[in-house]
Homo-oligomer: A and B are copies of this chain.
Amino acid sequence: MKTIGIIGGGQLGRMMTQAAKKMGFHVIVLDPGENSPAGQVADSQIIGSWNDPESLKKIVEETDICTYDLEHVDTKVLIELADQGNKIHPDPRVLSVIQDKLLQKQCIAEAGISTPAFIELKDDADFATFGFPLVQKTRKGGYDGKGVLVMKDKTAMAEKLPGACMLEKMVDLEMELGVMVARGIDGDIVSYPVTEMTFDDRSNILDLCIVPARISPELEAKARDLAEKTIEALGGAGIFGVEMFVDKAGEIFVNEVAPRPHNSGHYTIEACVTSQYEQHIRAVAGLPLGSPDQTRPCVMYNLLGEPGYTGEPYLHGLEVCLHIPGVSLHMYGKAETRGFRKMGHVTVTSTVLEDALDKALIVKKNLKVISE
């Protein structure tokens, strides 16, 4: 059986590893932290940074196929390694485009896909282009709301983000949607059902994912079509998370793409025929893609560390929640909880979406990650 290397040992790498092991692959993880979430369930872990050329070379050489659980890796080294004939998916050249939000958006817009209006930020005069409110984004390195600044008016310029940035016209937001799309090495593309996403105001981390999204069949079809076209434009093999905005007029815009399994696709483990993790492994290993069909309505939410608690995690309220049928708990094996840290997630499935939503809200209210 082949060995898959995963660069990055967080929760996405962990669930990828579990899917790969299920299918019979050996798995080696590269992560700087000992006993990383993915390292705990993999065959072995290389301790090293995903930006260290020697570590990257080591994992690529020790495995048959390499992939990532995060996009912030050194693509220069990976492009060299890929050019030497090593199998690295998605293609590190695609990753280097996606890493830079400006290049990513240019690539998507050039394919004729609707995005919020954007420009490169070259000097302060650019802040006047769209008028306020507007959104400033750092071109590289942002995640979970970090590297994104919503500027209500020009006074916000006093706290503008440093470094290379882009500006976007603020969308008059009605809702956010997510679509997972898988692309095989042969170019075959499948998309998953549309996820309706709500965000936590305090942390800006994804709050509830409701699937299927409560939208019209027309909007559902449009969102999936846009998401597939986006991944066709970017290229590369693997699974991709496509985040979209819908404005108050019902127009839909592609916001951002993640070249990996995505938080908004966790629900696929319980609620779809093929999970996003197995789909990713199938895609990067050159195997046929699986069915993305949904089997049960569901709601997923992130289990964040309760603010005010630091230390070994303890689940307060677990028994009450596990009494509720259809509640599935996923913990990531992180040794320490901290306020708003992603410690796990909960997926609630049911035969009826409203029932799953009601139950998810009960669990969310009662289950807390505190320290022992």
Q: Which residues of A line the B interface, CB within 8 A?
A: 1, 18, 21-24, 40-41, 43, 273-274, 278, 282, 287-288, 290-291, 293, 295-296, 312-315, 318-319, 322-323, 325-331, 333, 344, 349
Contact = CB atoms under 8 A, between A and B. Distances in A.
Given A43-B40, A287-B319, A1 B325 contact: no
Contact of A291 (B1, B23, B326): B326
A333 B295 CA distance: 28
Nearest to A320: B288
Given A21-B40, A331-B23, A333-B24, A326 B273 contact: yes
Nearest to A303: B24
> Copy number in this complex?
2
Contacts of A313: 1, 24
Given A287-B322, A288-B323, A323-B288, A329 B24 contact: yes
A163 to B, nearest CB: 37
B282 A322 contact: yes
Q: Which of A1, A24, A325 is most buried by chain B, counting CB atoms within 10 A of its CB?
A: A24
B18 A318 contact: no
Contact of A288 (B23, B41, B43, B322): B322
13 contacts: A1-B312, A1-B314, A1-B331, A21-B331, A22-B329, A23-B330, A24-B333, A41-B41, A273-B325, A274-B328, A282-B322, A287-B318, A288-B319
B21 A333 contact: yes
A79 B312 CA distance: 32
Given A322-B282, A322-B287, A331 B22 contact: yes
A67 B294 CA distance: 34
Q: Which 9 A-B pairs have the closest CB atoms?
A: A24-B331, A291-B325, A288-B323, A288-B322, A287-B322, A41-B41, A23-B329, A22-B330, A295-B295
